[in-house]
Structure 1
Amino acid sequence: MTQRYVVVDLETTGNSVKKGDRIIQFAAVVVENNQIVDAYSTFINPEQPLSPFIEELTGIQSSQLVDAPRFSEVAPKIAEVLQDGCFVAHNVLFDLTFLQDEFLHNGFEPFYCSTIDTVELAKIIRPQATSFKLSHLAEEEGLAHDRPHQADSDAEVTAQLFINFCEELRKLPLVTLKQLYRLSYSLKSEISELLALILKERMSVSPIHYPHLQIHKGIAIRKPETVSKTSYDGEASYPQSAEEKIALLNQAFPHFELRNDQLKMMDAAYHIFNDEKIAIIEAGTGLGKTLGYLVPAAFCALEHHEPIIVSTYTIELQNQLIHKELANLHKMLPFELKTAVLKGRPNYISLAQFDRALRTKDDNYETALIKMQILVWLLETETGDKDELNMTAGGELFWERLQSVKSTSNEHERSWQNFDFYERAKENAKDADLIVTNHAFLMSDFFSNNGKGMSNSLLIIDEAHQLENAALKHLGSSIDYVSLKMMINKLGFYDQKQLLYKLLNMVGNLGGNISNREADNLLHDAIYEIEQFFQLLSKACEDFQKNMHNKNAVALHTILKSHGNSQPLTHLAERLHKQLQTLSSYLLENAAYVTEHGQPGKTQLFHLSEIESIAEFFKSRAGNFLEYFLRNKDSFLYWVEWHKNSPGQYVYLYSQPISGGQELWHRFFAQQNSVILTSSTLTVKGSFEYIKNKLGLHHHDIETYSFPSPFRYKEKVKLLVASDIAEVNKVSQAQYVKQIAEYIEQSALACKGRMLVLFTSQEMLRDVHESLRELSSLEDFNLLSQGISSNSKTRLIKYFQNFDKSILLGTSSFWDGLDLPGETLQCLMIVRLPFSPPNEPLTEARCDQIRAEGRNPFTEYALPEAIMRFRQGFGRLIRTNDDKGIFIVCDRRIVTTQYGKDFLLSIPDVAVNEVNLHDVQNSIKQWLK
């Protein structure tokens, strides 16, 4: 490669040119012919002091820069180095902007050249990288990076990365390179010029053979590896003695720390499967719960010749189990264990959809980038699972166009049938010894197959306290204005020449009796009915909100009663039901006519598939309207939610059973041979009765086990209760938010971030976030807030782990399933005891149901639920034997009410101290020192 590349890195006094920040160090490494040929670096006197933060970050002290040259003195040399080169940097816009500004500021002409951003390049070449930070990429590439945040070191590492990436590009299949080159013109840096050079090189040499790849319709894809089911001829029996188990665990953990209760849990799980029982096992944090069930599960799979299914609540936890725990399990076992992963269909890419998207030329930056990432990823992935990809938010949105859909008779889809990753995952699972899935997929599989899903399997339900939630979500449904309008817009009127136009033309070309006006009228009528219904529903919600102090979720029957006369809304729902049914039938009949009377081509088949999908959507929603307003199911809750500030379009209707226990027993547990339900928090006041009742197991013979945490919590946790925060209902929202923000400020300063704050309300979180942003004392802190910084829990956790001095604010999903060991998390704050809002529709319905049975809804539902969530929250703090932390509760009810004692008794015995705002910082420092 004869092109000259100048790889640049700068250190600066801050991040903003506009605020007067200046360069303190410049470094450049010159690359020619894929080799480093020259380097230059210099400190620069910025003529302003460095902040303590910059000195700590870079290791450069203000005193080192006193005698350094000013930028004007080194500008000619820098210009000489940059001359005739392509400007390469990691986040190129930052370095380029600073340099250009310094040249102009010092009276020099700006320079002009092509640029390459190695962040952009890394996203394409390493689409599965966990992070695109320079330090993480260097670690993954095995590059020494001893002085991060010093320009000479960073420039050299960036140059090495660039060289590696260029080598990787050269090795790509020609078809992939050509696709990348076409898409690269939509990128922000001139990667297209680099690809053009590499393409020219490749065209002049002999073709490369790729035995592990296959090319289909111009897309190169990795061939799947075939792994046979376990066939073990030797003697491998379950390790009965403690010594045998310890020897097994030592295979993966040479410095294994003996936990007797973990060994007892293994024995319990092994006997539960052999005796075909249903059992609940509570395993305290730090016990080694996952291996506590995986080891006996592996031996049972071998002995019984039956697959073991392990299900956990979220895909994040599923991924953690796959990449961490199963890797350790494989090291221990004296036999091969075939494992498979099953997730919901939308998690897998549809190559038919991707092929279609590739042929679309209307790319913006985000779509071009994700297409390029996927083209490279397809050379590596065997699963087609989107969780392998590190996508931008725009990429996540684009994925919705690519996710796998149910197979159709569509010829275009059929041509990709042998490359269906979802079907491949299901086939792999048929031969697997151990299948890892999640609760949502498990519930969908069982309920959709009338209890026959994944039959003849032994089941382990991890995070079992969340199983009912997953079941309720699957058994429920929803309707919203935006989705209905989106589907209508996809069809379009005849003169808009979208899907409806295409359907009518296909029918007309085959001699079918078709009327453009009739079709347009059907669409007009549907739009009219949708608008009429949602306008009236929105008006009812607005009126209700005004009268009920900004409440934005309520049972549907309450809205209908509050509106005075429910008849108009019910009548509109009935009309909309009929209109959607008519439109659905019309689309399906005409699509069937084309299939029966013609031979549609690839593009036509793709359009027919989309039309059939839209028709099924309308048919489903038509049934929902009938159910919600005219044919309510027994023991179901129907409710409505809306955005407080703009109820108009943003109104959502939902339904689900009020409780899931009965459905879970009859359609799930009663169909199983053996099930283990486990979690770290399954008891309330030492009893399993609440969880048994919740899961429909209270009238059945269920074995229960409880193994405590091995951690010495008194030495590891100090619990502080804020003594001077007023009760939320005794002060204004603004005053309460101010008090919480002050406690977060003092706590964060004491432990230098590394702090998780748990809320029960997204509204409260937003207000506290805004208050914290105003505090100058936290300027150097990384404030991460759920629903503000990102909606992705995975991305927020990654940022929290990657950046020092981070404060993470989270709501519901952060209360459990979060593993942040070591110094990543040292301070956990709970703003309010985690009671569900009493006027939230599902809580209200459950309390009414319990009350109607003559029982106490507070003691039998609200309090046990809050205690279980409180225990889950507490469990986030100490994850390993070396951890130490502070647990702060800002809700004084924990010490002022009778039921507050139940919360304190639900967690391990730790010292409880009341502290005021003035003393909280010192208390934390004293404990953590």
Structure 2
Amino acid sequence: MSASAEMLLEVGSTIKKEIETASGNEIFIRAQLNNKNIIKEIEVLARGNSNSAPAVINNIMAGEMIIHNHPSGDLTPSAADIRLAAKMAAREVGFAIINNQADQIYVVVEAGTKKEKQKLDKKEILNYFKKEGKLAQELERFSERKEQLVTAEKIIDSFNKHQFDFIEAGTGTGKSFAYLIPALFYNNLNQARIVISTNTINLQEQLINKDLVTLQRVLDFDFNAVLVKGRNNYLCLRKFKNFKKNFDNNELEIDKTLFNELNDWKKHTESGEKSEINFQLKKSVWNQIAAESDLCLKTSCPFYSNCHFMQARKAIYKADILIVNHHLLLSDARVKDDTGSVDRGILPNFNHLIIDEAHNIGEIATDHLGHPLYQPLLDNWLKRLSGDKNSLLSEIREDIAFTVDSDQKRLRDLLDKRLIPTTQKIRDLIPQYFNELKDLIADYKDKKITVNKNLQSNPKWEEFYKTAQDLAAYLKNNFSYLQMIYENLYLGLEAETDENEMKIKSSINRCHDLIKRIEFNLEAADDDYVFWLESSYYRGTEQIVQKSAPIDAGKFLPDMLWSKLTNVIFTSATITAANSFDYFYRETGIKTAEELKVESPFDYSKQAELLIPLNFPDPSNNKFLKELVINLKKIISKSRGSTMVLFTSYRMLSYCFNNLKDELEEQGIRILSQSKLSRNYIMQEFRAEYNTVIFGTSSFWEGVDLPGDILKYLIMVKLPFPVPGEPLYQAKEDLLKEKGLNPFYNLALPQAVIKFRQGFGRLIRSKKDKGLIILFDRRVKSRSYGQKFLDSLPEGCPVSEINCNELLEKINYNGV
């Protein structure tokens, strides 16, 4: 095999040192070539073992080359090398293999021509946002806003310079169009797929069904935008066939009317999306017919050509703009990071990312990087494996009957004498495992208990520890027996044509995941994580969950996601705290970024006023709740609706609801309480009915859009400080102390200010809105830190301290 060292003249020694640093294992390199085809610059993107390294290819550009070493010295490309090289060739990216001495190189695919990215014409794009521009011609109520122009200009620079940007754009700026138009122009010029991630469904639907539809009419070129949903949102036709078969055989506990509704929907649906279903359907029923990645037969499936998910996936790969939510974005990043393969993810390759509602990204990343363990997770795996006529073990038994006689006895013995007894032992241990956790947590008043040395010295923990070790051991045995049956009964069958083969592979993978979760949470040994036990109620039954989460998600995000991208724009109405982006830098783990802060174009001096009642008890005072109930009753009786009350805990919300419900109902006023009703139902009823009031917590502080006279009075009961002492919060505090930082000013206060700003932003949603914000927490005036909250208010918003009688005089049933 010919191999030339000429390409390595300038970088060979550097690569050799990198390989030595990786203990001679494989490394994955991104290389820049000069016009003489000599490698002039390298970047190590990943390190692996003696056989492989993760293929990190997301941000590789045409004209570049990817290189990895073969420690054996044999530069012959493997089948996996050939597949990756072919994929890179389609992107005009070169592919080469070197030895560990970095003095021989075998080029599998030559690098293509480096493509210079075309830059956006700033003047051309900004004209769209001016009073004589095309947006004004299309949108009836459009007005030129300097804030929108400044935001759009910053986003244009971000695309042109391939940089990271933090952009805080106040409510009403029009930031959706400010990033959509530059993004669409950039895609049209450079064929660069762009992903836009949001936190709420409302914003996703606004983008895909409203804003992008408008831009289809406004722009002079075509584009294709797709709303991306996870696989579980789609009907699996193969699973539905089995579902129908089981129903016909009376093997399903499902109402005939419901089955007929499902069957009729299945016949007529074009997308196969769960969101289309307009009748009641339990999650447990949907899961029996929903698509799943580890049960997919791919091209071997008889329904492949009509598969709803595959049709959606084809649309995704053809799209210019992909609209996703933060959960899907992070799930995709984690899968790719865990497997080292971009093919395993949901999203295709992309280099440009816009994160709207970006203030949520740290919290959602924390959730996604955790490893929770709860009983339904184990029960569902066990039910599929063993539990009814259609279980995997039953189907394995049938498949054994078709093997040659010499194998039947051995496989039956493996099934009956090993796998089934082990499975039964697991069945017995699961409730014991969680009952012992329940008994343990009963010794504590809190519903969230940190797993630390004190807890681990409790005799009940030591008893539970033995049970957990037993459960993990039996799961490992189960894993081994399933693997043996798979290798002896299914391995070697034609490529993934056997459904039971896919089921057993799925069961093996899920069993392995359960073992990892049990051991990770049991040992609680990762210093980057906090571990705790949490008691909650699920469908009226107490459920104990073992939870774990990274103390600092920002430590993981750069390697998992940001480093794979060339351009990221973070935007929200509330990124800063005390006019600083410092807290957001820590949340994201990003070291440097361009910054822009743009005020809202609304005239808060005329549209809103913050009222702070005088002589009101401090929230820590025993009289606070009683006085709150008295004043809420007076305010709501006067306003008779158009009011939302934001609480910081369900306990406070429930207390006020229980003490006000009957009296207000006698006046014909209905409280829509989050303690009793779903968020969607509350929003529908509030929009449809007069004389209704919202009592909300947590999710109602953001993502609620009620313009006009629908909402005129916003009441914030307390400043939204995080709950002190909770395991994750406590761990974050401890970490900040170790770094010499004050936890209150670097954690509690920024979180509270950002959430306060989100809550405040629920009231004024358009230039015509007017309203009052009432804050019953006098700490905003009595404590030194209170000024941080007042400084965070929109520019010009008046703040008045006022006695409760004067406050009532400001409330007018007919309007503000």
Q: 2:164 aligns with which of 278, 281, 285?
A: 278
Q: Is 1:859 the equivalent of 2:745?
A: yes
Contact 1:725–1:892, Cα closer than 8 Å, also in 2? yes
- For residues 906 and 809 of structure 1, what CA distance do their matches in structure 2 show? 24
Distance 1:763 1:308, change over 3 A: same
Aligned match for 1:616, one of 502, 505, 509: 509
Q: Which moved more, 1:369-378 or 1:497-506?
A: 369-378
Cα deviation, 1:824-862, whole Å, max 9, x if unaligned, reads 222222222111101111111100110111210000111
Does residue 484 of structure 1 match 2:378? yes
Match of 1:348 in 2: 234
Say if 1:292 and 1:682 are closer, same or farther in 2 by CA, change over 3 A.
same
Q: TM-score, normalised to structure 1's length?
A: 0.68
CA deviations on 1:756-813 (whole Å, 9 max, x unpaired) are: 22222223323333333232445633432225212xx334323322232222222222
Is structure 2 residue 465 aligned with structure 1 residue 570?
Answer: yes
State the 1:248 CA deviation.
Answer: 1.9
- Aligned pairs for 1:80-479 (under 5 A) are 239-240=123-124, 243-246=127-130, 247-359=133-245, 360-361=247-248, 368-369=257-258, 372=261, 375-376=264-265, 379=268, 381-382=270-271, 384-392=272-280, 394-396=281-283, 398-406=285-293, 408=295, 414-450=301-337, 454-479=348-373
Amino acid at match of 2:264: L
**Partner Cα distance (1:354, 1:878) in 2:** 47
Query: Aligned-pair distance for 1:473?
Result: 1.8
Instruction: Quote the residue 2:426 is aligned against.
Output: 526
Aligned to 1:743: 631
Distance (Å, rounded) in 1 between the aligned partners of 2:538 and 2:253 = 31
Q: Deviations over 1:334-378 (max 9, x none)?
A: 111111221222222223333333442568887844762673476
Q: Which residue of structure 1 aligns with residue 561 of structure 2?
A: 668
Is 1:587 aligned with 2:482? Answer: yes
Cα separation, partners in 2 of 1:896 and 1:374, compared to 1, 3 Å: farther
Preserved CA contact (<8 Å) 1:722 1:917 = yes
* Correspondence 1:889 to 2:789: no
TM normalised by structure 2 equals 0.76
CA distance in 2, matches of 1:348, 1:506: 29
For 2:447 and 2:536, the matched residues in 1 are separated by 7
Alignment partners' CA distance in 2, 1:300 and 1:241 = 11
CA distance in 1, matches of 2:150, 2:539: 56
Q: Deviations over 1:555-594 (max 9, x none)?
A: 2226624625743333332222111122233334435544
Match of 1:719 in 2: 610
CA distance in 2, matches of 1:745, 1:479: 43
Match of 2:576 among 675, 683, 700: 683
CA–CA distance in 2 between the matches of 1:273 and 1:875? Answer: 29
Deviates further, 575-584 or 838-847: 575-584
Q: What's the CA shift for 1:466?
A: 1.0
Task: Tell me the distance in 2 between the aligned counterparts of 1:408 and 1:365.
Answer: 23
Among 748, 758, 770, which residue is 2:646 paired with? 758
Q: Distance in 1 between matches of 2:775 and 2:358?
A: 26
Give the corresponding residue for 1:829. 715
CA distance in 2, matches of 1:459, 1:847: 31
1:601–1:425 distance in 2 versus 1, CA, 3 Å: closer
SS at match of 1:446: helix
How far apart in 2 are the matches of 1:471 and 1:645? 24
Cα shift readout 1:417-441 (whole Å, capped 9, x = no counterpart)? 2233333333222222211111111
User: For residue 49 of structure 1, what is the aligned residue in structure 2?
Assistant: none
- Residue 803 of structure 1 is aligned with which of 689, 693, 702? 689
2:794 is aligned with 1:899: no
1:891 aligns to what SS in structure 2? coil
- The answer to whether structure 1 residue 632 and structure 2 residue 525 are counterparts is yes
Deviation of residue 916 (structure 1)?
4.9
**Amino acid across the alignment from 2:522:** F
Please tell me the residue identity of whatever aligns with 2:148: Q
Higher relative contact order (CA 8 A, sep 6+): 2
Deviations 1:493-526 (A, max 9, x none): 68x7754334334324532532435444212311
Contiguous gaps of at least 5 residues in structure 1: 1-234, 546-550
Alignment of 1:477-556 (within 5 A): 477-492=371-386, 498-510=391-403, 511-513=408-410, 514-515=412-413, 516=416, 518-545=418-445, 551-556=446-451
Superimposed CA distance per residue, residues 125-170 of structure 1 (whole angstroms, 9 cap, x where no aligned partner):
xxxxxxxxxxxxxxxxxxxxxxxxxxxxxxxxxxxxxxxxxxxxxx
Alignment match, 1:844 = 730
| Contact 1:822–1:880 (CA under 8 A) maintained in structure 2 | yes
Write the distance in 2 (CA, Å) between the matches of 1:397 and 1:749: 43
2: CA distance, partners of 1:806 / 1:459: 40
Aligned-pair CA distance for 1:736: 4.9
d(CA) in 2 for partners of 1:850, 1:652: 27
Matched residue, 2:107: none
Call closer, same or farther: CA 1:243–1:685 in 2, change over 3 Å. same
Q: Is 2:643–2:714's contact at 8 Å kept on the other side of the alignment? A: yes
Does structure 2 retain, via aligned residues, the 8 Å contact 1:821–1:883?
yes
Contact 1:407 1:413 in 2 (8 A): no
Quote the Cα distance in structure 2 between the aligned partners of 1:375 and 1:237: 52
* Greater displacement, 497-506 / 245-254: 497-506
CA distance in 1, matches of 2:367, 2:376: 20
1: CA distance between counterparts of 2:172 and 2:656?
Answer: 32
Q: 8 Å contact 2:298–2:304 — kept in the other structure?
A: no
Letter in 1 for 2:400: V
Could you tell me how far apart the structure 2 residues matched to 1:592 and 1:787 are?
52
Structure 2 alignment gaps of length 5 or more: 1-118
Please tell me whether the aligned partners of residues 277 and 703 of structure 1 are also in contact (alpha carbons under 8 angstroms). Answer: yes
Three-state SS of the structure 1 residue aligned to 2:577 is coil
Asked if 2 retains the 8 angstrom alpha-carbon contact of 1:352 and 1:412, the reply is no
The SS at the match of 1:477 is: coil
Give the 3 Å change call, closer, same or farther, for CA 591–784 of structure 1 in structure 2: farther
Question: How far, CA to CA, are the matches of 1:295 and 1:416 in structure 2?
Answer: 39
- Which secondary structure does the structure 2 equivalent of 1:643 belong to? strand
* Cα distance in structure 2, aligned partners of 1:661 and 1:575: 35
Give the equivalent residue in structure 1 for 2:699: 813
Where 1:651 maps in the other structure, the secondary structure is strand
Are the counterparts in 1 of residues 668 and 691 from structure 2 also a CA contact under 8 Å? yes
**Residues 667-710 of structure 1 deviation map (CA, whole Å, 9 limit, x = unaligned):** 2222211111100011111111221222112x32x111111100
Which AA in structure 2 matches 1:459?
L
Question: Which stretch shifts more, 563-572 or 254-263?
Answer: 563-572
CA RMSD of aligned residues (A): 3.2
Q: 1:427, 1:433 → 2: CA distance?
A: 12
The amino acid of 1:430's aligned partner reads: Y
Q: Is the 8 A contact 1:283 1:706 kept in 2?
A: yes
Instruction: Quote the residue 1:704 is aligned against.
Output: 595
Q: CA deviation at 1:599?
A: 10
In 1: Cα distance, 2:626 partner to 2:279 partner: 36
Counterpart residue type for residue 272 of structure 1: S
